[in-house]
Amino acid sequence: MSPNTDFLPFARPSIGIEEEEAVLRVMRSGWLTTGSEALAFEKEFAAFVGVPHALAVNSATSGLHLALEALGIGPGDVVVTSPYTFTSTAAVVRHLGAEVAFCDVAPGSYNIDPDALGRLLSTTKNCRAIIAVHIGGLPCDMRAIKALATRFGCSLVEDAAHSFPSSTADGYAGTLGDVGVYSFYATKTITTGEGGMLVTRDQRVASRAEKMRMHGFDRAAWDRYTAKKASWRYAVTEAGYKYNLPDLLAAIGRVQLTKAQRFLDERKAIAAIYDEAFSGIEGLELPPRGDGHAWHLYMLRTRTDRGGLDRDTLVEQLAERGIGASVHFIPLHTMPYYAERYGLTPESFPQASFIFERTLSLPIWQGMGLDAARRVAGAVLEIAGTRRT
């Protein structure tokens, strides 16, 4: 069978000649792992989002692990987050021996419900941290969540894996709590293939995360190999991790960062085409909106409860027309590990279960082009029917 050359993937990185040149520069420099490129990327990223400390890491998963560790989370502690997320958000809590308490998302939203969060916190003992996840790039209601974190004495971590660059009236999502962590995984708006960035205003958290990122050394490898004076000696002061971002990848991130605003504009234009095509169509519901959306994902809902087509059929029929779609997320309370550990059923979090059954993510990426977006919109309408309400 010949490959379908018209296939429109769900996501695709936008890598240009500038990124290729940056990688070549690093390859020819004689220094491939973490060094001057990673340091420059951290500085440039910190300036972009407006925080004093940014630490480049090899994934958002590592960054979230470092964030919770630096906040002192450990056995006996509880961390509250939404079940409507990727496994990393909760897995890092378990890596530290703490327990996860899930809180449902708000009706009509993909983000944690501040009302339900308030109720949960008032009955949860030993809650030490909240992880707010800005799903798809739409910022959570951070003012409400921050007020609850203060009232209940919890640290506030932002899983900002999807939300570069999501903005709010109070600053970029990811910079509004104690620590924020971005992902540069291959499908993210700016990418390094694999990678992430931890940001914080807290000097103590930054120093701890920096040390734990690199084996618990008292100094960076970069520093040891490049210092003019012979300086091979180092001390291991903690049992740390190996979570650094190599210069080869940081160099890609630096270029991508300069394109972030253009990437965002392109994504917004695609979202606008989808919005216009789907608004008022019976059986379809537009993604929740709000200012500052980064449009990492365009999560359309098919309202099977209002005559909409079954989600899986929609995904399959889009694939038959050469269009890749995806589903975010299979909620964690339905995953065997969390369901068994905490005795959860799909009914435990009715909002998350309801939206999971009805949601699909359409292609949205810079470089995809507006004609491709119109093709996707046309295919969805053709498959789902075009009755306007």
Ligand X SMILES: Cc1ncc(COP(=O)(O)O)c(C=O)c1O
Residue 28 to residue 336: CA distance in whole angstroms:
47
Interface region with ligand X, contact rule CB under 6 A, candidates 7-15, 58-66, 212-220, 263-271? 58-66
* Residue 351 binding ligand X, by CB under 6 A: no
Q: Which of 12, 11, 8, 2 is nearest to 319 (CA)?
A: 8
- C-beta of 261: minimal distance to ligand X in Å? 22
- C-beta of 91: minimal distance to ligand X in Å? 9
216 in the Ramachandran plot: left (φ > 0), alpha (ψ -120 to 50) or beta? left
Peptide bond into 165 cis (omega under 30): yes
Residue pointed to by tokens 């004609």: 371
* Residue 359 binding ligand X, by CB under 6 A: no
Task: Pick one of 22, 51, 56, 60: the residue that binds ligand X (CB under 6 A).
Answer: 60
Residue number, 33 or 87, with CB nearest to ligand X: 87
DSSP string, 6-26: T-B-S------HHHHHHHHHH
Within residues 72-91, the interface with ligand X by CB under 6 A covers: 85-86, 88-89
Q: Which of 43, 125, 146, 188 is catalytic?
A: 188
* Residue 196 binding ligand X, by CB under 6 A: yes
Give the burial class of 299: count Cβ atoms within 10 A of its Cβ; 0-12 exposed, 13-18 middle, 19 or more buried: buried
- C-beta of 60: minimal distance to ligand X in Å? 3
193 in the Ramachandran plot: left (φ > 0), alpha (ψ -120 to 50) or beta? left
Residue pointed to by tokens 């740390």: 240
What DSSP designation does 126 have? Answer: T
* Residue 173 binding ligand X, by CB under 6 A: no
Residue 37 to residue 43: CA distance in whole angstroms:
10
Q: Which of 148, 151, 106 is nearest to 131 (CA)?
A: 148
Interface region with ligand X, contact rule CB under 6 A, candidates 2-10, 55-63, 359-367, 371-379? 55-63
Residue number, 48 or 86, with CB nearest to ligand X: 86
Tell me whether residue 228 is one of the annotated catalytic residues: no
- C-beta of 253: minimal distance to ligand X in Å? 12
Interface region with ligand X, contact rule CB under 6 A, candidates 70-78, 154-162, 270-278, 280-288? 154-162
What are the catalytic residues? 188
Binding interface with ligand X (CB under 6 A): 59-61, 85-86, 88-89, 133, 159, 161-162, 183, 185, 196
